[in-house]
């Protein structure tokens, strides 16, 4: 989530975790996507990952995304 966007799911989880006795803060919940690309070159695969992240996997108004790695098989 972007910094200024309220994440109600994370707030609920944080409250429950505190209620059962753990001292935590700034709880975040994230999505993780993994897929196999059939592109020939790593730069094509990276562009594909950017395009999918922007258009399908995230809502750019309220979410931010990070591509952790790109590997060709």
- 38 and 71 share a domain? yes
CA 70 to chain centre: 15
pTM of the model: 0.67
CA 32 to chain centre: 5
Instruction: Share the mean pLDDT of the chain.
Output: 87
> Model confidence at 22, in pLDDT bands (50, 70, 90)?
very high
- Summarize the confidence of residues 48-64 as an average pLDDT: 91
- 26 and 41 share a domain? no
CA end-to-end span of the chain? 31
Range of the domain at 19: 1-30
- 40 and 71 share a domain? yes
- 45 and 71 share a domain? yes
Residues 8 and 15: their CA atoms lie apart, in Å, by 11
- Summarize the confidence of residues 17-37 as an average pLDDT: 90
- Summarize the confidence of residues 13-40 as an average pLDDT: 90
């Amino acid at each position: 989530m972007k910094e200024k966007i309220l994440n109600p799911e994370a707030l609920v989880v944080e409250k429950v975790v505190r209620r059962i006795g753990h001292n935590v803060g700034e709880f975040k919940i994230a999505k993780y996507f993994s897929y196999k690309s059939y592109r020939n070159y790593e730069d094509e695969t990276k562009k594909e990952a950017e395009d999918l992240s922007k258009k399908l996997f995230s809502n750019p108004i309220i979410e931010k995304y990070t591509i952790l790695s790109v590997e060709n098989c």
